[in-house]
Amino acid sequence: MQPARSCLAIVLAAGEGTRMKSQRPKVLHEVGGLSLLGHALSAVAAAGAEAATVVIGPDRPEVAREAATRFPAAELAIQRERRGTAHAVLAARESLRRGYDDVIVAFADTPLVRPETFAALRAGLATGAAVVVLGFEAVDPTGYGRLVERDGELEEIVEHKDATGAQRAIKLCNAGLMALSGEHALEILEAIGDHNAQREFYLTDAVAIARARGLHAKVLRAPESEVHGVNDRVQLATAEAEFQQRKRLAVMKGGATLMAPETVFFSFDTQVGSDVLIEPNCVFGLGVSIADGAVIHAFSHFEGAEIGPGAIVGPFARLRPGAKLAERAKAGNFVEIKNSEIGVGAKVNHLTYIGDASVGAAANIGAGTITCNYDGFFKARTTIGEGAFIGSNSSLVAPVTVGAGAYIGSGSVITGDVKPDALALGRARQAEKEGWAKAFRTAAMARKAAKKAAE
């Protein structure tokens, strides 16, 4: 077996991002709940990069933190002045000096490049190229660097601003990303100068320099949608749409049915099992998993929730962080659940808030039940035993425990613990006054008639 090739990814994240019109650095804006930088780092990691150096601008502690979260071994290099893409890559000079077989250059604002594509760039190096550039056929090539090919070799990349009329007619464009052979990367990068229209150090010049040294350069073609860059909120929305489309396809290929895929929104980390049915208009925020055979009815919203096998949710349910539905549990319409476990086969069918609670297996929570979990200062827990039956419109004032098999009479306000198999009632006793309504009506009608007569 061939020994694995070592790989360093250099991720350029020193962008200005002013067109986002945001307090937040551009590369921390999110697609599918993951930052743009996070997408780039996960993709290079999945393509086998064991080291990553993120090039950031000065004073970007938030970007540094995100890099460490998404790629714990990531190093940072600071580019103090923006003098072009090659200048940015050379900010990672120290990392390059350690010596790697493959060097990938990725842009942190290009979140949709798939790991397979980075791996294919590396494969080009393994077959002898010194530079492999990611190219795409642009619908509108204006602004992009053009890839000039001859006899299957990449000759050079010409930036739009430096291109001749004939070169501008080329549709094959530079996505910006490339892979360089670690053996030659430093000498090539250090040979790049700034003699061009923008007085910048262009990474793209790596191609002509490699060729002048008798080395090989190649193009790997990708669909334009994959190399889509994000500079403003409109492009961010386009990236989100493409991400969602991919995720929906992956979920369906994994064996889930989406009745109206275009109306269901996932996060990058949503896990969906097989034989899951998801009806239209559902939103899955971060940290949600849905086990095999679960049914998600329309208009439901999830964050940090775990849905067990065969569980049934919605329509119009809201599952917030820490909601855990065990096997075959049910959370029906207008039900909100937060930080609570719902046991095997337990039912919370209608109009209910369950927060900071554990509900035992096969318990039945009646319509309109509320766990009063907050006193304005502290949260407290409610524990409901297996097989307990909570009558409709009850308030369970936490901390409180309802024993297994106990009954709570409808409309109760329960402030004290209830023993297993007991019946607890916490409401006014019913009073009845025979004939009262009829007498009231007769008197009222007489008064009304008298008033009308006096007018």
By the criterion CB under 6 A, which residues form the site for ligand UD1? Answer: 12, 14-15, 55, 79, 82-85, 87-88, 107-109, 144-145, 157, 159, 173-176, 202-204, 229
Whether 157 contacts 131, CB under 8 Å: no
303 Cβ neighbours under 8 A, 6+ residues apart:
285, 286, 287, 288, 319, 320, 321
Q: Which is nearer to ligand UD1, 85 or 369 (CB)?
A: 85
Known active-site residue 160: no
Cβ closest to ligand UD1, residue 79 vs residue 270: 79
Complex with ligand UD1: residue 202 or 302, whichever CB lies closer: 202
Report the distance separating Cα 88 and Cα 90, nearest Å.
Answer: 5
Spatial distance between the Cα atoms of 254 and 290, rounded to a whole number of angstroms: 12
SS (H, E, C) 368-392: CCEEECECCCCECCEEECCCCEECC
Q: How far apart are CB 216 and ligand UD1 at their closest, in Å?
A: 20
Q: Based on CB atoms, which residue is closest to ligand UD1, 77 or 362?
A: 77
Question: Which residue's CB is nearer to ligand UD1, number 79 or number 358?
Answer: 79
Closest by Cα among 306, 313, 352, 307 to 330: 313
**Which one, 132 or 390, has the nearer CB to ligand UD1?**
132
Nearest-angstrom CA–CA distance, 215 and 221: 20
Task: Show Cβ contacts of residue 173 under 8 Å, excluding neighbours closer than 6 positions.
Answer: 135, 136, 137, 138, 141, 144, 145, 146, 147
DSSP string, 95-116: HHHT--SEEEEEETT-TT--HH
Name the residue nearer to ligand UD1 (CB basis): 36 or 424: 36
> What is the secondary structure of 411-440 as a DSSP string?
T-EE-S-B-TT-EE--SPPP---TTHHHHH
Dihedral angle of Cα 336, 342, 345, 348, to the nearest 10 degrees: -30
SS3 31: strand
Name the residue whose CB lies closest to ligand UD1: 145
Q: With contact defined as beta carbons under 8 Å apart, do 329 and 346 qualify?
A: yes
Written as six digits, the tokens of 52 are 């990553």
Cis geometry, peptide bond prior to residue 315 (ω within 30 degrees of 0)? yes
Would you say 144 or 302 has its CB closer to ligand UD1?
A: 144
Nearest CA to 301 out of 314, 292, 287 is that of 314
Tell me the residue type at 159.
E
* Least gap, CB of 111 to ligand UD1 (angstroms): 11
The pairing of strands 153-158 and 146-150 is antiparallel
Contact (CB, 8 A) for 234 and 257: no
Q: Is the dihedral of CA 174, 73, 191, 132 positive or negative?
A: negative
Write down the catalytic residue from 184, 195, 297, 350: 350
User: What are the catalytic residues?
Assistant: 350
